[in-house]
Structure 1
């Protein structure tokens, strides 16, 4: 039986990429195959034992990638197609079938792509559990 194959997809910001990269390394240590999807701008920064895949973020060269509004808009419009194409190319090439998508909640559109392709999903929350619990209680706090 082939090892599980996880597709890891962080939001392209340092505080999101690094924790998911650390989780990816732990998965590799336990025999899981990991493909880490990153934007091309961040792609050159990464590491050992993990298949790194760069995809366009949808912004033209020279555009301000620190403008969060522009980045989020471009990601949600362009990356679903890139992600689906990446999965289909991977499977067509004979690579191990992707078993799981582990993604940042800021990349919520990716869960729809995974569901469409029959891939199981897990959400990876990068902040503290206390912050997550607080977010769930915002309506009561308001």
Structure 2
């Protein structure tokens, strides 16, 4: 989030993609002023887990993420790039979402990871 805020201060438009489960936790913890920032947009995609499934079962969660989220991410990027003046031109993925690099390479979008 700190990286996003620093980039936004320099005029970069940011879309943070999280799982639906993580998104709910993030939105609950953010102050209202953060939710209204113009440069940073928070969106979610499904992780493939069913409602009520144990999100703490890391084996099942990781398997589900790797099976389902790449398709959801590709669809999300396609929708954003197809309907917006602000195209996604670079994706930054952390170590937990390294699979996203393969998705954006396939879409010929610049990527960075940390």
Q: TM-score range by the shorter chain?
A: 0.7 to 0.9
**Paired residues for 1:27-66 under 5 Å:** 27-44=7-24, 45-46=26-27, 47-48=34-35, 49=37, 50-66=40-56
Unaligned runs of 5+ in 2: 28-33
Number of matched pairs: 104
CA RMSD, 1 decimal: 1.2
The CA deviation string for residues 64-109 of structure 1, in whole angstroms up to 9 with x for no partner, is 1011111110000000000000000001112411111100122222
- The match for 1:69 is 59
| Bigger shift: residues 61-70 or 41-50 | 41-50
Unaligned runs of 5+ in 1: 1-20, 125-142
- TM-score when scaled to structure 2? 0.85
Query: Distance in 1 between the 2:48 and 2:113 partners?
Result: 23
**Paired residues for 1:52-131 under 5 Å:** 52-124=42-114
Which consecutive segments of 4 or more residues in structure 1 shift more than 4 A?
none
By relative contact order (CA 8 Å, sep 6+), the higher-ranking structure is 1
Q: Larger Cα Rg: Structure 1 or Structure 2? A: 1
Partner SS for 2:112: strand
